[in-house]
């Protein structure tokens, strides 16, 4: 006799999926923008702390990409798509503080910190908004927030008085 197992093809509760998308989509957009703008900063940093800032910006970019993937995959796992193409990101994320050209390291660091602060505000909203709707999605937001705050701390150390 053969055992047959059926796998349900239905997605998660639509209210849970909608809440996750509502709160995690801005996080994905912000992190994707940070990965692009962080590379811009990485290429154009000049002056004091060059090596430390230049190399750490690559770490920030790698983290941003990984966290964007984590948040986007949570949305998709719940059955909803996410549009994180560059044109969508550009229309959803406020202008970055990162300059287009060569910039002193302390200015670059402050600009990246400002971009991180905007994402942290979206993460705070996600943590609060998902509290009663979807604890798993909230855990994703908390995990990302914890790591992003650490990256912010490392950047602040470059400009602390």
Long-range contacts of range 138-143, CB-CB < 8 Å, 24 or more positions apart?
A: 140/24, 140/70, 140/71, 140/74, 141/23, 141/24, 141/27, 141/71, 143/70
| Per-residue confidence (pLDDT) for residue 97, from 0 to 100 | 85
Q: What is the CATH number of domain 14-159?
A: 1.20.1260.10
pLDDT score recorded for residue 102: 97
What confidence score (pLDDT) does residue 2 get?
58
List alpha helices for the chain, DSSP H: 14-44, 50-77, 86-92, 105-130, 135-159
> Can you give the pTM of this predicted structure?
0.91
pLDDT at 7: 42
Residues of the chain below pLDDT 50: 5-10
């Amino acid at each position: 006799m053969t055992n047959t197992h059926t796998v349900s093809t239905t997605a998660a509760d639509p209210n849970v999926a909608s809440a996750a998308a509502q709160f995690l989509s801005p996080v994905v957009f912000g992190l994707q923008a940070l990965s692009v703008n962080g590379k811009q900063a990485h290429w154009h940093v000049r002056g004091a702390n060059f090596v430390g800032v230049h190399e750490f910006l690559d770490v920030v970019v790698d983290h941003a990409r990984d966290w964007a993937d984590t948040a986007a995959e949570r949305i998709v796992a719940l059955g909803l798509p996410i549009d994180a193409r560059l044109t969508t990101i550009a229309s959803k994320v406020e202008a970055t503080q990162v300059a287009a050209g060569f910039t002193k390291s302390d200015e670059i660091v402050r600009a990246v910190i400002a971009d991180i602060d905007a994402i942290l505000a979206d993460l705070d909203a996600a943590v609060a908004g998902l509290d009663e709707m979807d604890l798993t999605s909230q855990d994703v937001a908390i995990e990302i927030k914890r790591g992003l705050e650490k990256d912010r701390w490392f950047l602040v150390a470059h400009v602390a008085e």
